[in-house]
Amino acid sequence: MNIHRSRRRMFGAFAACAAAAWLAVPAPAWAQAYPDKPITMVVPYPPGGASDALARLLADRLKESLGQPVLVVNRPGAGSLIGTQSVILAPKDGYTLLFTGSALTIQAAVNKKFDVNIERDLAPVSEMVRSTFLIATQATQPFKTLPDMLEFARAHPKDLSFGTNGAGTTSFMIFEYLKSLSGSELLHVPYKGSAEVFSGLMGGSVQLMADPVYTLQKQVDAGSLRGLAVTGSKRSALLPNVPTVAEAGFPGFDITAWIGLLAPAGTPKPIVQRLGQTVVGIMQDPEVIRRASALGFDPSGTTPEEFDGKLRTEQTMWVKLARERNLQLD
Residues 266, 90: contact at Cβ < 8 Å? no
Residue among 235, 227, 229 nearest 250 (CA): 229
Q: Per the domain annotation, does 239 fall within a domain?
A: no
Confidence check: pLDDT of 37 > 90: yes
Q: What is the residue range of 175's domain?
A: 132-230
Residue-wise pLDDT tens digits, 107-136 = 999 998 898 999 999 999 999 999 999 999
Confidence check: pLDDT of 33 > 90: no
Total number of domains in the chain:
2
pLDDT of amino acid 93: 97
- Whether residue 127 is found in the same domain as residue 266: yes
The 3-state DSSP class for residue 160 equals: coil
- Whether residue 75 is found in the same domain as residue 147: no
- Whether residue 262 is found in the same domain as residue 125: yes
Q: Per the domain annotation, does 90 fall within a domain?
A: yes
CATH code of residue 178 = 3.40.190.10
Residue-wise pLDDT tens digits, 237-255 = 999 999 999 999 999 999 9
d(CA 118, CA 255): 19
pLDDT of amino acid 28: 56
pLDDT of amino acid 78: 85
Q: Per the domain annotation, does 125 fall within a domain?
A: yes
- Whether residue 138 is found in the same domain as residue 126: no
pLDDT above 70: percentage of residues in the chain: 90
Q: Treating both helix axes as pointing N-terminal to C-terminal, what angle do 304-325 and 103-110 enclose, rounded to 10 degrees?
A: 40
Give the confidence band of 193 by pLDDT, cuts at 50, 70, 90. confident
Strand partners, 257: 131
Cis check: omega of the bond before 35, within 30 degrees of 0:
yes
Q: Per the domain annotation, does 262 fall within a domain?
A: yes
